[in-house]
Amino acid sequence: MIKPKIAVHKFSSCDGCQLAFLNMGESLLALADRVEIMHFAEAGPVDENASVDIAFVEGSIATQHDLERIQKIRANSAYLISMGACATAGGIQALRNMADTQQWIAGVYAQPEYIDTLDNSEPISDHVKVDLALWGCPINSQQIITTVRDLLFRVTPKPERDKLCLECKRQQQVCVMVSRGESCMGAVTQNGCGALCPSVGRGCYACFGPAEDANCPALANRLEGLGLVDREIAQKFLFINSAAEPFQSTGNKRKQS
């Protein structure tokens, strides 16, 4: 049997999504049995220019070097998966898209001339065709396992689409918004984390990005009713997935008003 070849590439990111592979436990051995890992610098194998069947890409496009690399990776990959909030939506570092990047660099670094960066942090899909997007900050091992298994079965992967609220209710968590007036993004966010924050009594931070048919203006109104001012509401939407619509437009509207 010829094993499918995979690669795990890193762009501008914290490496947290790659841990979804490394934290798999026994499943990592099962994975290594079924695919040939050609490139995964954090785990050992390095062959960045290898031709692969599946490329997992972590991180956003943030430097001139990234721009060139992603084109090569796309050309070398039959199926390309953006992995996590950075690769899929620009990540937390896309907050800089709303600021003057050069001014920040000048303010932070003693020798700003050494910093090579683009003005914006952009998702992989802004630059090359992405076959599948995995949301999450970070993604979890089950997302990888399900995706790889589906692809090995030659089935189109079907990522989670339910809203976080539905999973929160399945777990019978008490709604933090209704019972405590806590601001929670669950009603506009995709499930994926298993309602992690509500399960410890906190509101959702929207790590898994906007849900389909997310009614962000209505949630913004509700957050206002809970006592949040426009600046705070804007920060809720312009956070981990600030560059993703419809978070971006609702956040910007509140930011400007």
Partner 1 sequence: MREDLSFLARDNFPTLLTTLQEAGYHTVGPQLRDGAIVFDTLNSVDQLPKGIHDQQAPGSYRLEKSDSPRLFAWANGPQAIKPYLFTPREVLWRSQRSKTGELNFSTVEPEVKPTAIIGVRPCDIAALYLQDKHFLQQEKVDPYYKKRREQLLLIAVNCTHPTNTCFCASTGDGPQAHYGFDIVLTELDDGFLLEAHNQRGGALLEKLPVQPATEAQQQHAEHALTHAAEQQTRQLPGQNLNDALFKNLQHPQWQKIADRCLGCGNCTAVCPTCFCHSEGELAALDGQSSEHHREWDSCFSPGHSYIHGITIRPDTRTKYRQWMTHKLGGWHAQYGRSGCVGCGRCISWCPVGIDLTAEAAIICGEGDKDE
Of 83, 148, 197, 206, the one binding partner 1 by CB under 8 A:
148
Pairing of strands 132-134, 36-40: unpaired
Q: Does 65 bind partner 1 (CB under 8 A)?
A: no
Q: Between 5 and 163, whose beta carbon lies closer to partner 1? A: 163
Closest CA to 93 of 60, 128, 130: 60
Q: Does 145 bind partner 1 (CB under 8 A)?
A: yes
The full 3-state SS of the chain, as one line of letters, equals CCCCEEEEEECECCCCCCHHHHCCCHHHHHHHHHCEEEEECCCCCCCCCCCEEEEEEECEECCHHHHHHHHHHHHHEEEEEEEHHHHHHCCHHHHHHHCCHHHHHHHHCCCHHHCCCCCCCECHHHCCCCCEEECCCCCCHHHHHHHHHHHHCCCCCCCCCCEHHHHHHHCCCCCHHHHHCCCCCHHHEECCCCCHHHHCCCCCCCCCCECCCCCHHHHHHHHHHCCCCHHHHHHHHCCCCCCCCCHHHHHHHHHHC
Q: Does 253 bind partner 1 (CB under 8 A)?
A: no
Of 50, 188, 195, 233, the one binding partner 1 by CB under 8 A:
188
Q: Least distance from C-beta 61 to partner 1, angstroms?
A: 29
Q: Between 44 and 225, whose beta carbon lies closer to partner 1? A: 225
Q: Does 245 bind partner 1 (CB under 8 A)?
A: no
Q: Does 31 bind partner 1 (CB under 8 A)?
A: yes
Q: Least distance from C-beta 168 to partner 1, angstroms?
A: 8
Q: Does 114 bind partner 1 (CB under 8 A)?
A: no
Q: Least distance from C-beta 187 to partner 1, angstroms?
A: 4
Considering only 27-35, 96-104, 108-116, 117-125, which stretch makes contact with partner 1 by CB under 8 A? 27-35
Q: Does 39 bind partner 1 (CB under 8 A)?
A: no
Dist. CA 186–CA 210, nearest whole Å: 9
Considering only 41-49, 119-127, 128-136, 172-180, which stretch makes contact with partner 1 by CB under 8 A? 172-180
Q: Least distance from C-beta 16 to partner 1, angstroms?
A: 21
The residues of the shown chain that bind partner 1, judged by CB under 8 A, are 27, 30-31, 33-34, 145-146, 148-149, 152-153, 161-163, 165-166, 169-181, 184, 186-188, 201, 212-215, 218-219, 221-222
